[in-house]
Structure 1
Amino acid sequence: MNEQITADQLNEAGHLLIGGCDAIDLAHEYQTPLVVYDVSQIRQQIRAFKRVFEENDVSYAVSYASKAFAAVAMYQVVNQEGAYIDVVSGGEMYTAIQAGFPMERASFHGNNKSYDELVMAVKHHVGVIVIDNFHEIDLLSQVLNELDAKTKVMIRITPGISAHTNKYIQTGQVDSKFGFDLASGQADEALQKVLANPRMDLIGLHAHIGSQIFEVAGFEGVANKLVEVADHWQKKFGYQAKVINVGGGFGIRYVKDDQPLRPEQFVDAIIKAIKKAVQPTNLGKPAIWIEPGRSIVGPAGYNLYTVGSRKDLPGLKSYVTVDGGMGDNIRPALYQAKYETVLVSDPQAPFTEHVRLAGKYCESGDILCQDQALPKTKPGDVLAMLDTGAYGYSMASNYNRNPRPAVVFAENGHSQVVIKRETFADLTHLDQPYEQN
């Protein structure tokens, strides 16, 4: 029996509910594989983040890290909740613009922003551009001169803090592609270049130490480091930071062994660490910004699959194959991410076996779970993989020329397609015939 499913997530028939909707009905109406979000859960987490700032009486911004999942509907929900967003590409920026998101509440990240992307950001009055490297300072300066414009910026530093997480999602250590190094003097040099440009309004500094972090110490460390740098910049260069942005990376529960704090508990620790660190300085009360992504959408997402073939081998774990896989969730194949899966028609049914949950893609590594406890299943059964809302659909592909699944938002018992299922025709609509000379 899966402990993550509680009684209020079941209907009278014992079926899994998502946003008040029977997951069996969702699978039948929209077909599988299917990505479903419980929208009320997204709203509740944004509100919980905002509440902890207000209880601590600090100026703040909760900025949704939209690389976790970007869609017009998602940006609309974030806007309805009065939160901010950060974008990391022209595509995310364009999607937010199409959603009618107020771009003054957007920040633009990235370690290799293009000229065209910076032009788009400036023309659409993106609230703040987070500067990542010296090339970008020069490129942004060129854009601002050409457009006769000004913009708010932050400087991203690499704080030299290595989070206890997968090496592929660590970003704060010294040897990182992101941000300006401190020890070598890069960050000080960047500060002076930005301050010398009258078209750039430097509002603060930023760091991000990684993703899926369970320990408060790393966040307290980056909070203290950012205050230390801000204090140094004030004393040496006379610059006073208005904003300290500690990024995101708050871990969530995927499997039983994961025991993270609630995301807002991380934030409470960060706020208290910054408040304590600024006391002996002249920094005043800087605003504190966070950039959660996974912790907002991860637990709200479900991937629904239909069981197909089965392979039993004497003395080995059986393979149960579903109609999705690495094309809609590459994380298990990419960096051995783990999830839990339940039988939608009876999520609390006793386990009877441990199987390898396999995908349909033509790769031996297309295994969604190497050791999944399940009740006995048969072809046609619908399974729900839990906590898939972050970096599943956003990293989806058309590998093997498979269409990407539909995405449905469910809230208060109502469901709606927010991203259509791709068709075979969609797979070829960009293809052009080759005319041999």
Structure 2
Amino acid sequence: MTQENRSLWEGCDVLKLTESIPTPFFLFSKQAIASNINRLQNAFSMHTEKFRIDYCVKSNYEFMLLEVIRTHGIGAMVTCPWELRLAKEVGFKPDSITYHGPCKSYDELKFAIESEIGLIHVYNHYELDMIQQIARDMEKTVRISLRIVAPRSRRQFSIPKWYAGRFGFSHNEILDIFGMSKNHPSVIITGLGFHLGTQMVDPGDYFFAIKKLFCLIKEVYGLGYDIQEITLGGGWPSDNIKPVNFKSLLKAFFVNEDTGCLNASKVHAENVARFICKTAREKGISSIPSVRLEPGRGIIGSAGILVTRVVRKKGNWIFVDAGRNYLPESLLFARRRIMQLAKRAAKTHCLYNISGNTLNTMDVMAVGVKLPGVEIGDVLIFMDAGAYTLSRSVRYAGSAPNAFLSDEDCRIVQIRREETLEDITLPMVKAAERFSILE
């Protein structure tokens, strides 16, 4: 969607769509998904052939979108049993599926091992011991990767060190695990990995973590063990969303600016891939471990938009027919690009605050947005609405809306219907059906 033709998005005339499809609705682009995957693949292939991409299913698990993503030959990263079942049903091969999560239960791990998935990311000693027990009882060998506490530079503002440090093993714990690997004969430790955060537009944060990771790898090599792969987690940025931190808070909210990070994902990936190769050479590592990426937002984020309509005005406040129940991420997290679609010529720009339509004090979609004179009935597009929206939408004062997918020829297919009262009440136990679990 460009300034020259604001009604076109990925070749699709969104304004025309709203004449036949009631707002609000999500619209996804098959072409944008392919472009985002290719951008990551091309960026890394310039520097190493040993890499793989696992899509983070929790970022958006709509069935037809997963089918599109699977056709590009990448894997799936899941975080709970039903995501694993869904990935298998969509058609991801078991050995292309990896499993994350800090509190995996015995039953979860057993199901993952029975499913013969490709890799389990281990966060603590409890999981490591349970995997060994299950694998021994099932007479299987299980491939795992150890998650390390994310190395964080002092300049990194997104997530405090004490907060992120609850996930993973410390440097010394990793060395101890390798030193006692004979206690886990049914487990093969193939790699190490970390996760820094979300929408990481500054590759410098990755540079610091990668340096620390390769220092640890050198020590593991010194113990006589090999590291076949490193996992860099998610956080790969999308191009139409700007993260908010303490330094940029006032500027981001009260001074209108271009919220896009133009080409951020491509530049970010190229810089990180280049730095991995450079650091490995500096550490004297001749065979660079395979690199595993786990993008969610970086693949599906900019491939989706939320299409809304202005329904009320009050001073410089405008109200749209969607709310934070559709875009649940906090205003303190990031600032999305918002585009106005209107058939009339643009007027003088004004600063607006945008409210959602729910009876909720916190239902504010954006503040200080510079738009041409807005009228009731105008269509507003919230860019980068593909990730952590439908998958995190709630039924508070509303229900999940329709969602559609546009293909390369701009043909539109429905991938999710709007929820009905029956959908909402289906899991509820009604009085006539109630039962006592104590009987």
Aligned partners of 1:384, 1:97: CA distance in 2, in Å?
34
Match of 2:189 among 197, 202, 210: 202
Match of 1:191 among 161, 170, 178: 178
Match of 2:421 among 411, 421, 424: 424
Aligned to 2:231: 245
Q: Does 1:406 align with 2:397?
A: no
Mapping for residues 26-425 of structure 1, pairs under 5 Å: 26-162=17-153, 167=158, 170=159, 176-182=165-171, 185-194=172-181, 196-235=183-222, 237-252=223-238, 253-254=240-241, 256-257=258-259, 259=261, 262-279=264-281, 280-282=283-285, 284-312=287-315, 318-333=316-331, 335-345=332-342, 349-400=346-397, 402-412=398-408, 413-425=410-422
Q: How far is 1:26 from its partner?
A: 3.1
Aligned partners of 1:319, 1:141: CA distance in 2, in Å?
58
Q: How far is 1:366 from its partner?
A: 0.3
| SS of 1:394 mapped into structure 2 | coil
1:72-91 deviations in whole A, cap 9, x for unaligned?
22221222111122112223
Contact 1:165 1:211 (8 Å CA) reproduced: no
The count of aligned residue pairs is 416
Aligned partners of 1:136, 1:163: CA distance in 2, in Å?
31
What amino acid is the match of 1:245?
T
| SS of 2:330 mapped into structure 1 | helix
What amino acid is the match of 1:143?
I
Q: How far is 1:348 from its partner?
A: 8.4
**CA RMSD between the two structures:** 2.5
Contact 1:212 1:250 (8 Å CA) reproduced: yes
What amino acid is the match of 2:272?
I
Contact 1:5 1:347 (8 Å CA) reproduced: no
Contact 1:352 1:376 (8 Å CA) reproduced: yes
1:95-149 deviations in whole A, cap 9, x for unaligned?
2112111121121111111223222221222111010111111222233234332
Q: How far is 1:234 from its partner?
A: 1.0
Contact 2:33 2:303 (8 Å CA) reproduced: yes
Aligned to 1:315: none
1:387-434 deviations in whole A, cap 9, x for unaligned?
12122222111112x111122111221111122221122111111123
Aligned partners of 2:383, 2:84: CA distance in 1, in Å?
28
TM-score, length of structure 2 as denominator length: 0.87
| SS of 1:278 mapped into structure 2 | helix
Taking structure 1 as reference, are residues 66 and 350 closer, same or farther at Cα in structure 2, changes over 3 Å only? farther
1:364-389 deviations in whole A, cap 9, x for unaligned?
11000112222233333321111121
Contact 1:339 1:386 (8 Å CA) reproduced: yes
Aligned partners of 2:275, 2:400: CA distance in 1, in Å?
43
Taking structure 1 as reference, are residues 198 and 75 closer, same or farther at Cα in structure 2, changes over 3 Å only? farther
Aligned partners of 1:146, 1:350: CA distance in 2, in Å?
71
| SS of 1:393 mapped into structure 2 | coil
Aligned to 2:251: none
Aligned partners of 2:38, 2:163: CA distance in 1, in Å?
34
Contact 1:240 1:283 (8 Å CA) reproduced: no
**Structure 2: 5+ residue runs without aligned partners?**
243-257
Contact 1:305 1:384 (8 Å CA) reproduced: yes
Contact 1:67 1:87 (8 Å CA) reproduced: yes
**Structure 1: 5+ residue runs without aligned partners?**
313-317
Aligned partners of 1:224, 1:419: CA distance in 2, in Å?
44
Q: How far is 1:165 from its partner?
A: 6.3
Q: How far is 1:336 from its partner?
A: 4.7
Taking structure 1 as reference, are residues 193 and 264 closer, same or farther at Cα in structure 2, changes over 3 Å only? farther
Q: How far is 1:58 from its partner?
A: 2.7
Taking structure 1 as reference, are residues 163 and 309 closer, same or farther at Cα in structure 2, changes over 3 Å only? farther
What amino acid is the match of 1:293?
G
Q: How far is 1:358 from its partner?
A: 0.6
Contact 2:326 2:400 (8 Å CA) reproduced: yes
What amino acid is the match of 1:152?
R
What amino acid is the match of 2:176?
E
TM-score, length of structure 1 as denominator length: 0.87
| SS of 2:318 mapped into structure 1 | strand
Q: How far is 1:351 from its partner?
A: 4.8
Identical residues among aligned pairs (%): 22
Taking structure 1 as reference, are residues 390 and 43 closer, same or farther at Cα in structure 2, changes over 3 Å only? same
Q: How far is 1:166 from its partner?
A: 6.1
Taking structure 1 as reference, are residues 350 and 108 closer, same or farther at Cα in structure 2, changes over 3 Å only? farther
